[in-house]
Amino acid sequence: MELIEATYIATRVDRPAEELAENIAREQSLESPRELISEAIAERFLGRVLAVEAKDADRHVLRIGYPAELASGQIGQLFHLLYGNVSFYPRVRLVELRLPESLLAAWPGPLGGLAGIRQALGVADRALLMTVLKPRGSSPEVLADLARRFALGGGDLIKDDQNLVETDLPTFRKRVTYCSQAIDNAQNKTGKATLYLPHVAGSGDHLERQLETVARLGLPGVVLCPWVMGLETAASAARRHGLMWLAHPAAAGTLTESTDRGINAAVLLGTLVRAAGADISIFPGSGGRISSGERDTGAATARALTAPLGSMRASLPCAGGGKTLELAAQTAAEQGPDRAIVVGGDLLTRGAGIERATRETIAQLAALATDHRS
Amino acid sequence: MELIEATYIATRVDRPAEELAENIAREQSLESPRELISEAIAERFLGRVLAVEAKDADRHVLRIGYPAELASGQIGQLFHLLYGNVSFYPRVRLVELRLPESLLAAWPGPLGGLAGIRQALGVADRALLMTVLKPRGSSPEVLADLARRFALGGGDLIKDDQNLVETDLPTFRKRVTYCSQAIDNAQNKTGKATLYLPHVAGSGDHLERQLETVARLGLPGVVLCPWVMGLETAASAARRHGLMWLAHPAAAGTLTESTDRGINAAVLLGTLVRAAGADISIFPGSGGRISSGERDTGAATARALTAPLGSMRASLPCAGGGKTLELAAQTAAEQGPDRAIVVGGDLLTRGAGIERATRETIAQLAALATDHRS
């Protein structure tokens, strides 16, 4: 039987580690007393303990196999299966995930991903520069002007700040249309593509109408917050409209940054987000305002987004969180070309200098790629 | 200006507490360098520090006011505003929330809630007994039989286990129809109502079709996992179909159970879930398999679900997590009558004895209410 293999680390176990592992396997799969579970049901659905090992004086490694059918072919249900009720267990953290081929084959993965974005941009081999439209409250004209300058400088990706949220559709439409047209005009001048991803939030009809607006404008995708709106909700919303999507990590920090609970960033913002089909995943990386401190998992997350995973395309890894332009080149130098680097505030504050600063940073990234090739 | 007041506790601050408070206020509202923010935008949208106090040697209390408009009238955006990027900050926990009247007035709150459920059940003043249909893999006939026995015993609420997830609609329809009919038949015999809430998961069309099925069967509501599918996604899905909903806390444990990060259960599974309109909120309470350990916040969460909140109805608090029948009466005795007590496995394993055990437990709960009145 094909299993979803989940590895947890349990710190200072409150019962024998083997017992805890059995409890988790049962809790997450059938949540029933053993005597309620028939042999046939156990065989088909019960989670099973694959290994229990002491890691050090404080910690045990628990490897559990869940029958693939438990995910019900739904990425939301997979997340639920891996870390639903066990999130309430004392000091149990999900650190590794292996998905079986059957499950991976059922999901399409990223629509464009790293390769599709490179193709749309016509940028083969350097790190990509992304900026952010903000702050909320700025007029559409002001935001469109920021977008225009960045595009004139040859910038690659523009995302809306995830705080840009409109209550009504006409305001959303106006802003997104202005920004889109400003970028089109700039592209016509430079001959270089810049991809614009508006932020879309909310639910129901309001969510649908925003996505329709983006698709009708011919824009390539959207920014979604899967840990606010739900991972599967985000994935299916984008897919329904044929849009790429950038997964913003808002609200995921308690999961990734807790020491002895939660889920490793490489699993959460790497494997799961890619399996959900996110074309770009932002995660905290080394440096910048929001960093993951001593436990910098940027490299592991980027690997999870790009290493072979069924036949899924790679997602574009994006080391985010308040980077300066200077850190952009440094991050690209350290981490290689298959990254998008987000620079928001430090670029936007340059006003009339945005275009030039963008051009110079892109040139630095291109030079790094040349170094990398040689 | 009306403010959303959020109180955070910062443990072992990595910068002066006042500076950290200013950083959070800016991060969560506009996420921009101060020089990008005009006076007009700051006045209307910038979060503001209301108070900073040392709590003890390790901890500071940071009280921050966010202009109500930042929530954009969306419960998802409110959650995002309160704990989006700040979830990545070191050791910052949201412990209290005050919502302004304007925001509360914009949201309908629970459709039925505690009062509506009491009315539908015809049970005025005792604690309510809930059971759970499981395990996954059981035939519709077996699950319907469990439901029938519980209903014949006069049980109040039946929820599907949140692990009951069907990939295809016909299987879902068959199971839910069987259970619904079994309960109808039992009700016709006893004259006592039993409310059945199927679990609904997934996204897009599949989610809609399941909700339609539930609504067409005339069932009162559904079980949703808002921390899997998104809080606002859950709320709007139920509301679209005129259904009540039970908020299951799956995947919320890292937020509520972390010591120096995350969000207090009373805010997350209390105020926010109620503001989202959940009619019932399950949260870990004292005793049972899943407990919140030393920091038992059951009482505070129940208060948040029932104390005055704008003109919203109270949600029904539900101390969940692997309780035995014996603990049911004990929990009700300790916590008073305005609770639903979930007993799953311990009741289901009684087979032919389910009806009698249910009747006896209901009688105990009724006796407690009589004691309580006298």
Q: Is the pLDDT of residue B331 over 90?
A: no
d(CA B327, CA B8): 34
Q: Is the pLDDT of residue B296 over 90?
A: no
Which residues does chain A have within 8 Å of residue B250's beta carbon, measured at their own beta carbons? 80, 84-85, 87
**Pairing mode of beta strands B128-133, B340-342:** parallel
Question: How many residue pairs bridge chain A and chain B with CB atoms within 8 Å of each other?
Answer: 260
Phi, psi of B315 (to 5 degrees): -85, 155
**Which candidate, A319, A318, A324, places its Cα nearest to that of A350?**
A324
pLDDT, average across residues A251-279: 96
Interface contact A87-B252, CB threshold 8 A? yes
Q: Is the pLDDT of residue B328 over 60?
A: yes
**Which residue do the tokens 């309960």 mark?**
B183
Nearest CB partner across the interface for A31, out of B29, B44, B163: B163
Q: Is the pLDDT of residue A286 over 80?
A: no
pLDDT reported for residue A372: 63
Closest-CA distance, B251 to chain A, in angstroms, reads: 4
Closest-CA distance, B92 to chain A, in angstroms, reads: 10
**Which candidate, A218, A164, A213, places its Cα nearest to that of A187?**
A218
Which residues does chain A have within 8 Å of residue B255's beta carbon, measured at their own beta carbons? 254
| C-beta of residue B225 within 8 angstroms of C-beta of residue B200 | no
pLDDT, average across residues A19-34: 95
Q: Is the pLDDT of residue A292 over 80?
A: no
Nearest CB partner across the interface for B251, out of A27, A84, A345: A84
With b for 16 or more beta-carbon neighbours within 10 A and e for fewer, the A314-323 pattern comes to bbbbbbbbbb
Closest-CA distance, A362 to chain B, in angstroms, reads: 22
Best residue in B38, B223, B233, B263 for a mutation probing chain A (most A CBs within 10 Å): B233
pLDDT reported for residue B234: 98
Please report which confidence band the pLDDT of residue A344 belongs to, taking 50, 70 and 90 as the band edges: very high
Closest-CA distance, A93 to chain B, in angstroms, reads: 9
Stretch among A94-98, B60-64, B86-90 having the lowest mean pLDDT: B86-90
Best residue in A89, A133, A163, A296 for a mutation probing chain B (most B CBs within 10 Å): A163
pLDDT reported for residue A66: 98
Please report which confidence band the pLDDT of residue A294 belongs to, taking 50, 70 and 90 as the band edges: very low
Q: Is the pLDDT of residue A290 over 80?
A: no
- Look at residue B10 and give its three-state secondary structure: strand
Interface contact A262-B254, CB threshold 8 A? yes
Percent of chain B with pLDDT over 90: 87
pLDDT reported for residue A293: 47
pLDDT reported for residue A373: 63
DSSP state of B188: H
Please report which confidence band the pLDDT of residue B374 belongs to, taking 50, 70 and 90 as the band edges: low
pLDDT, average across residues B167-188: 97
Interface contact A165-B40, CB threshold 8 A? no
Percent of chain A with pLDDT over 90: 87
d(CA B159, CA B134): 9
pLDDT, tens only, B2-36: 999 999 999 999 999 999 999 999 999 999 998 99
Phi, psi of B154 (to 5 degrees): 85, 20
Q: H or E element: which one contains A95?
A: strand A92-98
CA distances from A253 to A291, B91, B331 (A): 10, 11, 34
d(CA A28, CA A40): 18
Interface contact B32-A345, CB threshold 8 A? yes
pLDDT, tens only, A55-90: 999 999 999 999 999 999 999 999 999 999 999 999
pLDDT, average across residues A1-23: 97
For B324, nearest residue in chain A (alpha carbons): A33
Please report which confidence band the pLDDT of residue B322 belongs to, taking 50, 70 and 90 as the band edges: confident
Which residues does chain B have within 8 Å of residue A230's beta carbon, measured at their own beta carbons? 203, 228-230, 233
Q: Is the pLDDT of residue B357 over 90?
A: yes
pLDDT reported for residue A82: 98
pLDDT reported for residue A206: 95
Closest-CA distance, A127 to chain B, in angstroms, reads: 24
pLDDT reported for residue B294: 44
Please report which confidence band the pLDDT of residue A319 belongs to, taking 50, 70 and 90 as the band edges: confident
Average pLDDT, chain B: 94
CA dihedral A349, A351, A355, A357 (to 10 degrees): -40
Percent of chain B with pLDDT over 70: 96
pLDDT reported for residue B292: 47
d(CA B96, CA B23): 19
Closest-CA distance, B40 to chain A, in angstroms, reads: 9
Interface contact A202-B257, CB threshold 8 A? no
pLDDT, average across residues B96-106: 95
pLDDT, tens only, B231-283: 999 999 999 999 999 999 999 999 999 989 999 999 999 999 999 999 999 99
pLDDT reported for residue A202: 96
Q: What pTM was computed for the model? A: 0.96
Q: Is the pLDDT of residue B364 over 60?
A: yes
For A348, nearest residue in chain B (alpha carbons): B36
pLDDT, average across residues A239-259: 96
Please list, in sequence order, all residues whose beta carbon lies within 8 angstroms of the beta carbon of residue A360, skipping any fewer than 6 positions away. Answer: none
Stretch among A147-161, A221-235, A360-374, B139-153 having the lowest mean pLDDT: A360-374
Interface contact B236-A204, CB threshold 8 A? yes
Interface contact A349-B36, CB threshold 8 A? yes
For B41, nearest residue in chain A (alpha carbons): A137
Q: Is the pLDDT of residue B306 over 90?
A: yes
Q: Is the pLDDT of residue A295 over 60?
A: no
Which residues does chain A have within 8 Å of residue B29's beta carbon, measured at their own beta carbons? 136, 163
pLDDT reported for residue B297: 55
**Which candidate, A223, A232, A196, places its Cα nearest to that of A117?**
A196
Interface contact B84-A292, CB threshold 8 A? no
For A32, nearest residue in chain B (alpha carbons): B345
pLDDT reported for residue A287: 55
pLDDT, average across residues B195-201: 98
pLDDT, tens only, A202-242: 999 999 999 999 999 999 999 999 999 999 999 999 999 99
pLDDT, average across residues B151-162: 97
Nearest CB partner across the interface for A236, out of B204, B253, B293: B204
Phi, psi of A95 (to 5 degrees): -115, -20
Query: What ipTM was reported for this prediction?
Result: 0.95
